[in-house]
Amino acid sequence: MILSETAEKAIAAYGGRELWQNAASVETEVSAAGLAFVLKRRPYFRRSKMTMDAHRPLCRFTPIGDRPGITGVLDGGSVRLENERGQVISERRNARDYFKVGRRLFYWDDLDMSYFANYASWNYFTLPALLMHEDIAWSETGAGVLKAIFPATIPTHSREQQFRFDLRTGLLIQHDYTADIISPLAKASNVVLKHSTNSKGLVYPSERLVTPRSPKGNPLRGPVLIHLEIHDYRVIGS
């Protein structure tokens, strides 16, 4: 697979081709808050633990809600809830179809949040692997700017998204998309405020801020839809 100069530089900045081609999973701890949680009547995430497949949308998020032992699992386009013993207590196939109408405009249950939080996190935290994903159509539209067209088989915010990288370091600066399951008008900018380095020397985005995006494509100062902190980040080899 031939990659653009920007994609190659980004992959190198986040550990390199070999690391991500051989990666089996990603593990992290996440805290998140903001208006998006309030509007959907959801509790904030406080050092929730996540484990995700590095190459396909299989992701586990614990706890997904108020109940400490309940894990929300995304498996392709379906979601389920598991208890502490790994037993399935609830599930929903083709989860995206449920967001079109009804009470989800005002309230999300644990399965709704399992879908949104897991697919969004999987997209964010496996970005170097996504840059090499053959089913995603990547194109370089400007200096340090990549446009992605996602296939319907990958759960994500919107089919078309834009990623802006620092020309010098190759690190991600800004990720633009429309959160379609919230609203076709939910045009957002996900800005990386900070990068950190883990104990093995791997650089990763450790603080992000999601706000509405102006018609010109610039992130607005507010309201803060999601403030995301990544406390730990590990890539596990195959």
**Domains in the chain with CATH codes:** 5-232 (2.50.20.10)
Whether residue 157 contacts residue 177, with contact meaning beta carbons closer than 8 Å, is answered with yes
What's the pLDDT score for residue 184? Answer: 87
- List the beta strands (DSSP E) in 84-159: 88-92, 137-142, 145-149
- Please give the pLDDT value at position 92: 97
Q: Report helix, strand or coil for 227.
A: strand
User: pLDDT digits over 128-147, tens only?
Assistant: 999 999 999 999 999 999 99
**Residues found in the chain:** 238
Q: What are phi and psi of 164, to 5 degrees?
A: -115, 130
pLDDT at 185 exceeding the cut of 90 = no
Q: Say if residue 238's pLDDT is above 70.
A: no
Rounded-to-integer distance, Cα 158 and Cα 238, Å: 30
pLDDT of 170 > 90? The answer is: yes
Q: What would the pLDDT profile of 12-58 be if each residue is shown by its tens digit? A: 999 999 999 999 999 999 999 999 999 999 999 999 999 999 999 99
Q: At 61, give phi and psi (nearest 5°).
A: -135, 115
**Locate tokens 């929903």: which residue?**
92
Q: What is the pLDDT of residues 80-117, one digit of tens each?
A: 999 999 999 999 999 999 997 778 888 999 999 999 99
Q: What is the per-residue pLDDT for 7?
A: 97
pLDDT (0 to 100) of residue 201: 95
Neighbour-count burial of 201, counting CB atoms closer than 10 A to its CB (0-12 exposed, 13-18 middle, 19+ buried): exposed
Strand partners, 29: 49, 232
pLDDT (tens digit per residue) in 193-225? 999 999 999 999 999 999 999 988 899 999 999
pTM, two decimals, is: 0.96
